[in-house]
Amino acid sequence: MAKAKALIIILSGADNPIKVKLGLNVAWRTKNSGAFEDVKVIFFGPGEDFIAKTDDKDIIEAYNQVLANNIMPQACVAVAEGYGIAPILTDKKIELVHAGQAIAGFMAEGYQPLTF
């Protein structure tokens, strides 16, 4: 039986950091365990601003686990530029993309969106 592919979309920000942590943990843990065939992560809106500015040790640790499990996160370039955080995100190894197009492309490839 074929495994599903997951597209983790992190929309939550400073107003709900537990959702950000949950999204990151689901991403790296399911990738690490092989639960999904593949896992992608996209930060969008407040999620981008939060991951750029957070000093929460648990969230930083979860984000580092995402990178350690070879998940290369993406974020919306238009939002990043609007918030003035594009350089911070790229320093954190987040690829800036046109999120709407990226999401549509991943869904066309069979990725199932999970939002946090």
Give residue-wise pLDDT tens across range 53-101: 999 999 999 999 999 999 999 999 999 999 999 999 999 999 999 999 9
Q: How many angstroms separate the CA atoms of 37 and 8, rounded?
A: 13
Residues 6 or more apart whose Cβ sits within 8 Å of residue 109: 5
Q: How many angstroms separate the CA atoms of 62 and 22, rounded?
A: 9
Distance of CA 109 to the CA centre of its chain: 17
Give residue-wise pLDDT tens across range 24-36: 999 999 999 999 9
CATH number for the segment(s) 5-115 = 3.40.1260.10
Q: How many angstroms separate the CA atoms of 69 and 32, rounded?
A: 6
Please state, for a pLDDT cut of 90, what percent of the chain lies above it.
97
CA gyration radius, the chain: 13
Whether 1 shows a pLDDT value over 90: the answer reads no
